[in-house]
Chain A
Amino acid sequence: MITVTINGKQIKLEKPVSILEAAKMTGIKIPTLCHHKSLEAYGGCRLCLVEIEKMPRLQASCTQYVTDGMVVWTETGRVVEARKAMLEFLLINHALDCPYCDKAGECDLQDLVMKYGPAAGRFTEGKRKHPESYDDPIIVRNMERCISCTRCVRMCSKVQGASAISMVNRTSKTFVEPFSGGRYNCEYCGNCINVCPVGAIMSRLHKHTYRPWFIEKTVDTVCSFCGVGCSVTAQIRGNSIVRIIPESEKGLNRGLLCNRGRFGYDYISNSGRLKSPMIRKNGSLQETTWSEAFMYIAQKIKEIKEKNGGAAIAGVASGRCTNEDNYVFQKFMRLVVGSNNIDSIAGFAYAPARKFFEKIFGQGVTANPIQGISRSDGIFVIGGDPTAINPVLGLQIRAASQKDIPVATVGYAPGLKGFAANRLIPKPSTEAALLAALLTEMLKRKPLPAEKTPFEEIIGKIQPVSLNEAESACGIASGEISACVDSLSGMTNPALVIGRDIIQRSEGQANLLLLAALAQALNGRIYLSSELPNEQGLIDMGCLPDMLPGGRPVAVDSFRKRYGEFFNAEVPSAQGLSLMEMVEGAHSGNIKALYVMGENIAFNIPDNKFVKDALSRLELLVVQDIFTTETTRFAHVVLPAASWAEREGSYTNLEGRMQHLKKAIDSVAGLEDWKIIAEVSKVLGVDMNYRDSRDILAEIAKVSPLHKGVTYEDMDSGECMWPYKGEPLRHDLNIVGIDMPDMKALLKKPEKDKVYIGVDKVLFHSASLSRNSFALNSIYSEPHAKIGKNLAAKLSVASGDHISISTGAGAIELAAVIDSDMPDNIVLVPNNFEGRGAFRVMGWKMNAAFKAPALDGMEAVLKKLERVSAEVSE
């Protein structure tokens, strides 16, 4: 026990902390400019100097740790005089342009000078000059204001792991610069903006648009982009969000954000937002009133239901909608329409993977806290680049790597280059062979315990694959594979981060089985990457053809009955269709009506042409969205929805954490998705009777065994993790229906001269929503096709040359970007930009086990286009 006295207050501490921290615990604030709690102590600014009895000199409290019996004074005359001197030095060169600087009002330096500072400096020399830099679309640098605290540089290298900026030059000419001074060309996380104590690095997006004291209210909410669900604070002025900043004290992101979360919010104020309901009349969509739209939809649904039955109607839910929206949606589909045809994009990869792992390990096995990644003793990444899909989760991996925790990546994960000790990049679609070899070797070194659980028996039946067999299949030298096994076998409780690329395959189930076996052998924790903010919520709320809210299977009579009794209605027992089956059904004519809530299926499902063809055959297509999309163009009725910032509700992130989404601004035209559905339901004769989202959550808390008694207040109070207040559903594990993979078939090599097309997950975009963000478009405005250097050489293509990529489904023309780490016979194309998405030319095969599209083996023909090449940077 350590006893310290700070300013006469005595505190007792279990373990030594810095004086700065100890003072904070007692409520004493010590000023500092270079210290930041996301960063290691630096001791550069000398403003946190304090007087310690029995020590002759003043000490920096950020680097000095407390010892037993220490007596500290933080505001003595000596200390105040020293701080004043430090500030006078800083003001030698700091531009005194506070009236013009946007930081004024929230500037640490300004506040400190007001408190301690000299009213006038004694230096008569001129201040250094350095023009403000507008070279970058997002970040403005004004280095005349920089005080060289190096917070931004340390943030960039130690936390973000990008090392995109550094202190260049020396003495009074030291500035923070991205390399060669121009654009940042970095990950644009903006965390440097966040830690800058002065106005040296600022966001260009709201420059000179407001001052900190103009902010009328702040709303603590959740980010709308990926499945991590970072806590953010929206600052609002005049019913518009002027800035999004991270919550430094709470939330799993602890003050960090990615480019999408920090800058991408501006889509909500895009002038292209849908403003009025529209009905198709005489072949074109025409504005109408809400009531007419509700009447029309209800009438059509009634007709189709009477004529073809409820099973001819299907619904697509959305991972961008809240739990409340999705709950009401599935209730509407099941109880009002009478159909189990409910699914979403989550059904393509996230839901089947989760279901598969839960079948083996029990419910909630993928619900692991993200913060645990950097605290594990090893990390295994496969199926996508977490730093692009879930950037803040990716930072956990980088943080672990900086602590020398071994990281192994399988596949092309450019964001982890330099962080992964073992980096295995197999040929396209040969991961199964590699995984099997890793498993075989692991089991040789660490045999499973002999108690023989049912799953261990299954693992025992997996055919072994030797290192040589794997080498010839996936093209990775056996030595490299065995080095990876060396690293894996040293891990006792690693994190396995699994992305969708490995799941959306014809051999997806085999991959998952091998990963489950590997997780068992390594005693690993599974994390599923999730591209949308509420994919987990879609599953929990029963937006799956075979699941009721709370993870209860529809097929079990007693669950269906209990659920029906609660509402005094009947839950249909017929097996529902998956999203891909719905599209096929629409194409073949079995599905007559499709109700789409917040999803752009004509763009986000592979083979756009087929999907559009299917949509055009529908008798009724209702789309609720916030923008005109490829899908709304086929709709009979389009209903404007409220955006993420304009509604209340909850999101459940990939860890199973429920978070409260708060209404930040009023919607100009759109209604909450649940409200639209409730209105349609009312016209159809079922009054859902919700006043607000609280009523819906209260109902969820009664219906779902996983959400017993949960309230927004519970979510606000912090940790609201799986299984919330409810009961965990640890049923007896009965592992049936797992097909044993045929290893022989999986060892076959991809045909040599063929080139395959895959989806590139771009850090700066998120499905088709982000294209409406001015900020994100200014960072990444054009889609590129990424190819490896050998393929580029074969086509004699240089970076920036245009290539055409053609498949059976069509062709697109894109500028090429060459990345030497990519495997030879694959081209990666992002699926974000209208008319130029990967899914325009990518076909699919049905994965029978998941009833979802498999995207492997999609051949493409690449050709160089002769035209003046545009300058393209990655």
Chain B
Amino acid sequence: MLSEKEKNEIETELKQYEHKRAACVEALKIMQHSRGWVSDDGIHDLAGILGMTPDELDGVATFYSLIFRKPVGRHVILICNTISCWVMGYNQVLRSLNERLGIGLGDTSADGRFTLLPVPCLGACDQAPAMMIDNELYGDLTPEKMDEILGKYSWERD
């Protein structure tokens, strides 16, 4: 079931388009924003509102790698995984994240705090190596900076 808030936000989006299905990506984003990810039930509910079949909407949802169809941690770390960052020390940064969080790419930490995902280019080559946590960009990364950055997202700060 969609929450009232989700419903209202989606209704607002629907008004912008001639065809309901045109709002499907926005609707998926709204649901992900409020729940962290989009479940099968969520797809069913959204498909109903958008006048699509669940399969059609699932095709859209799975096409976009930033729409999560599996549960993710509280914060999602997107680590830039392309040439500039490789050159500038991606490996060390990734290893330091692996060690600190105890997870590899695509995993969620045991405390449910972080999910680590590779992303093909954040467009921040000038600050390589770079990563993004939620909507915050962090550049010129070194293993030494990690404690401070991750500390911002610790339980105590919530």
A residues apposed to B, CB below 8 Å: 153, 157, 162-170, 177-180, 418
Contacts and interface: CB of A to CB of B under 8 A. Distances in A.
B45 interface: no
A164 B65 CA distance: 22
Given A157-B56, A163-B56, A169 B63 contact: yes
B49 to A, nearest CB: 13
Nearest to B52: A163
A548 B122 CA distance: 81
Contacts of B58: 166, 168, 177, 179-180
A149 to B, nearest CB: 15
A564 B40 CA distance: 70
A179 B55 contact: yes
Nearest to A153: B59
B55 A166 contact: yes
A673 to B, nearest CB: 44
A170 B65 contact: yes
Interface in B133-147: none
27 contacts: A157-B56, A163-B52, A163-B53, A163-B55, A163-B56, A164-B53, A164-B55, A165-B55, A166-B55, A166-B56, A166-B59, A167-B59, A167-B63, A168-B58, A168-B59, A168-B62, A168-B63, A169-B62, A170-B62, A170-B63, A170-B65, A178-B55, A179-B40, A179-B55, A180-B40, A180-B58, A418-B51
Interface string B21-64: 00000000000000000001001000000011111101100110
Contacts of A162: 53
Interface of B is mostly: helix
Contacts of B43: 179
A695 B55 CA distance: 54
A157 B58 CA distance: 14
B69 to A, nearest CB: 9
Contacts of A179: 40, 43, 53-55, 58
> Of B40, B52, B55, which is in contact with the most chain A CB atoms at under 10 Å from its CB?
B55
Interface in B77-125: none
A163 B54 CA distance: 9
Contacts of A165: 55
Contacts, number: 38
A332 B54 CA distance: 56
B19 to A, nearest CB: 12
A162 B54 CA distance: 11
B137 to A, nearest CB: 24
Nearest to A162: B53
Q: Which 5 A-B pairs have the closest CB atoms?
A: A166-B59, A163-B53, A168-B62, A179-B54, A166-B55
A251 B40 CA distance: 41
Contacts of B53: 162-164, 179
Contacts of A166: 55-56, 58-59
Nearest to A167: B59
Contacts of A178: 55
B72 to A, nearest CB: 17
Contacts of B62: 168-170
A157 B43 CA distance: 18
B130 to A, nearest CB: 23
Contacts of A163: 52-53, 55-56
A153 B52 CA distance: 14
Contacts of B63: 167-170
Contacts of B51: 418
A140 B51 CA distance: 29
A559 B106 CA distance: 83
Contacts of B55: 163-166, 177-179
Contacts of A164: 53, 55
Contacts of B65: 170
Contacts of B59: 153, 166-168
A426 B40 CA distance: 34
A547 to B, nearest CB: 46
A403 to B, nearest CB: 16
Contacts of A177: 55, 58
Nearest to A161: B53
A556 B59 CA distance: 65
Contacts of B54: 179-180
A167 to B, nearest CB: 5
Contacts of A180: 40, 54, 58
Nearest to B40: A180
A180 B55 CA distance: 8
Nearest to A184: B55
A166 B24 CA distance: 15
